[in-house]
Structure 1
């Protein structure tokens, strides 16, 4: 079946339909990863977005039971140059087409994804519609014009109720703004007792859980659309060690008085170089975000810049000058991507240990 991807600037891409036959409107973005399409499909940070994979062949190792980052995918569409309907891998349970159909995600293949990516890099991310071939340009343009950008993506993907992943180590409250399972895996690997709570859980309720540390997870959308989380962070940061990732990093910065701004086309992929001022080393990182902390705004806060992106010099890491709180813009748990920065989870554990020792001395 023929299908079209139409951008809000009027550009039309004609291709083949796969996955769900539903029509879908979302923000069109691109991911530069050569592998990891299953983790990309199941990353809640893509909620509301139509994802374009720049690597030309997608689906060749199928879909397996182990590489999901959430149970229910929340992306709005999937765009590829070529998809493989006969995967070859010993872990494969199904092909990409059947997975997308089962989760009601429309896909389009056979288009020039290089051309699409160059448009997005030049003009920035924009709305797009995946629709059946033959739809009039006027109808599609009208639908795109009427489509209101989402502001509640975090609410859409966050857990509704608290739940526990038991352990005998430090007690961690994990605030779920769209958590990837890789974060939870890293904490449970360190034997932490993790209580996952909704994005709007109050500081009072968090403190009643008597946590040793608080983890702020990744998530979709504009951090300024989650004001309740910003207020919560302001209240807890003087009392409990905090570690923020991606959206959690942006929320921590906002809570400390810094500002965030929208990037032209964002960082999405598993090969982004980041320079660390503390270690004087460069790390390759996995990233997925469309907003970033503005560098100039940090100077007027109690935050210290710790890491920058080498490609565009945007803020990649901060730490608080007084409290044991730090955050990074990328994904140290990878999933997919390099595990160069996995040590940050150990740093979080060390911060908790030192903070508890200081309290005992007092």
Structure 2
């Protein structure tokens, strides 16, 4: 059945779904998304995800059983990120995060997290979270606050996830501080993963004990996530994957992930990443020239954090820009208490 015949049959079968599908096509065709986590999937990955491979799932009853597509994805992830161990059969970053938590922590353990990241994924889990933040003036972590919080709370894990922070940090220093305190370092590179894969942002893989990231953001793959870790943690985290019900994934996603990782190693992907950074810096400069303050006065990546006026309504701002054809995300960062403004992410 060709595309036109398929769509015609779908319209007859389910007009409601067909209409919503057409509306989404129009939305994506005529709206520019400025939300870092909203990215188009690679055409190759999209084709494989929608292929007959969707009819076949892989099921595991032991750590050592893998299929060909999973082995490809693992090998390519190891090569792309120079990691010691990779786990790819995870359907979301939320699932990956809970796997890490349950593998490495016990109930009641203290956790120190940059801007409180990952705490939102701990529903039903009992950990004691404390927070450290950013030094926006120096485009860095607030190292003094980090030292104080480590001394006060003695965390088992320190988490750094730069979801709302557009600058590269010294992960070797972060690892040294963390390990000297007897804690593990977990870095979630989030939507920075594409730039890390392209070698355009420093990789934390050599320094962190665990690195996680979604595969459907800037990596432009299928929905899912990857956990990279040191060899000594591999068996513990692999066991947590199985014990927490993540032992199966359809082959279409694994195949789509494998091809996405191959694409991320191509020179064209690096050129694309360079243009993304150039565009972000041009946007940052233009906003500043038009009187809009930028947190940190620039960016090292794809993310621009612009401050709305204190009396602006974030939701109405989003709606107005959407009507003009632009999608943005607004949020109040934890740092907002130190600076009276609504950041636009």
TM-score where L is the length of structure 1: 0.24
Which has the larger share of helix? 2
Structure number with greater CO (CA < 8 Å, separation at least 6) is 2
Which has the larger share of strand? 1
TM-score where L is the length of structure 2: 0.24
